[in-house]
Amino acid sequence: MESTPPKVRTAPYIPMFEERNVRKGFVPDRDYAKLAAECSKTGLWLRAMLSVGYNYGWRSGEILSMLVNQVDLVDRTIRLEVGTTKNGHGRTVTMTQEVYTLLQPCVAGKEPDDPMFTREDGSPVRDFRGAWQGACARSGLGKFVCRNCDQVMTKKKCKCGSRRRKYVGLLFHDLRRTGVRNLRRLGVAESVAMKISGHKTPSIFKRYDIVEMADLEDAAARLDAKQKCQASSDQFGQSSGRKPENSTQPSAADDQPAMATALPN
């Protein structure tokens, strides 16, 4: 259909199955400090990666491939080059104070083409799943489960004697969902948030826009505040002698006798 000239007259309709394996994990605000502390114990590189992923919702591959020359400490910007992202588009963001503070030592003493995130021995970070899972388990956002008996393993060896375990809990990609949620809650325009996170279509962006209980509680609190403000305004109108709108109660002026419209004989 899209070729010139079209090779077919019609295109068949192909129904798609409904996707049911969409993750809903994210980092609650109250747990970010605990996770950040555990990442700091592992190394500055993991702490800095957490901050970038949490603030901008970037993918782990986009963060790991960053070079020193992509960070501008003078303008306080981070630049993802064209072709290095999943959708192929480049993007530039302004660093928050937290990101700026963490990335400064990450670039110190390195050449422009050196990897941004390196371990203590200077080797570039490639696979960090073990470090991430350990930090999440220690902060209560994940756990290791025995593959044989499904019991939670606090040590490398289960009570049943097995050493085979699997991780269940927060993934680094869940930071992408967290970043989108935080931008929405701060009132950032959808178009701007999509440029920061790198989403191309609003439909995919909204899949990451997860509403949590705190959002619902905040909405209820705003409604309560509006009603209290309205009630206070009505009381002010009554105390100042004004007749409230849509009120059926007589005002003070209504109690005064009406003036005669004609002189007495």
Mean pLDDT on 144-154: 89
Residue 56 domain-assigned? yes
Query: Which range among 17-21, 79-83, 148-152, 245-249 shows the weakest confidence by mean pLDDT?
Result: 245-249
Task: Write the pLDDT tens digit of every residue in 1-28.
Answer: 889 999 998 888 888 877 665 566 788 8
Instruction: State the CATH number of the domain containing residue 108.
Output: 1.10.443.10
Residue range 156-173: mean pLDDT, rounded: 89
Decide if 68 is inside a domain: yes
Residue 217 lies in a domain: no
- 10 Å CB burial of residue 78 (0-12, 13-18, 19+) is buried
Residue 153 lies in a domain: no
In this prediction, residues 169-182 reach a mean pLDDT of: 89
68: pLDDT strictly greater than 90: yes
Q: Which comes out higher in pLDDT, residue 246 or 217? A: 217
* pLDDT tens per residue across span 185-234: 888 887 788 878 777 766 666 665 555 556 666 677 777 887 888 777 66
Number of domain units in the chain? 1
**Cβ distance 153 to 165 under 8 Å?**
yes
* pTM (2 d.p.): 0.69
- Would you say residue 40 lies in a domain? yes
Residue 239 lies inside a defined structural domain of this protein:
no
Measuring CA to CA, which residue among 24, 73, 53 is closest to residue 196?
Answer: 53
User: Per-residue confidence at 115, pLDDT binned at 50, 70, 90?
Assistant: very high
d(CA 135, CA 41): 8
Three-state SS letters, the chain: CCCCCCCCCCCCCCCCCCCCCCCCCCCCHHHHHHHHHHHHHHCHHHHHHHHHHHHHCCCHHHHHCCEHHHEECCCCEEEECCCCCCCCCCEEEECCHHHHHHHHHHHCCCCCCCECCECCCCCECCCCHHHHHHHHHHCCCEEEEECCCCCECCCCCCCCCCCCEEEEECCCCHHHHHHHHHHHHCCCCHHHHHHHHCCCCHHHHHHCCCCCHHHHHHHHHHHHHHHHHHHHHHHHHHHCCCCCCCCCCCCHHHHCCCCCCCCCC
> In this structure, is residue 232 part of a structural domain?
no
**Residue 14, domain member (yes or no):** no
pLDDT (average), residues 161-183: 89
The angle subtended at Cα 227 by Cα 221 and Cα 233, nearest 5°, is 135
Mean pLDDT of 63-81: 91
Q: Which domain holds residue 192?
A: 29-128+172-207
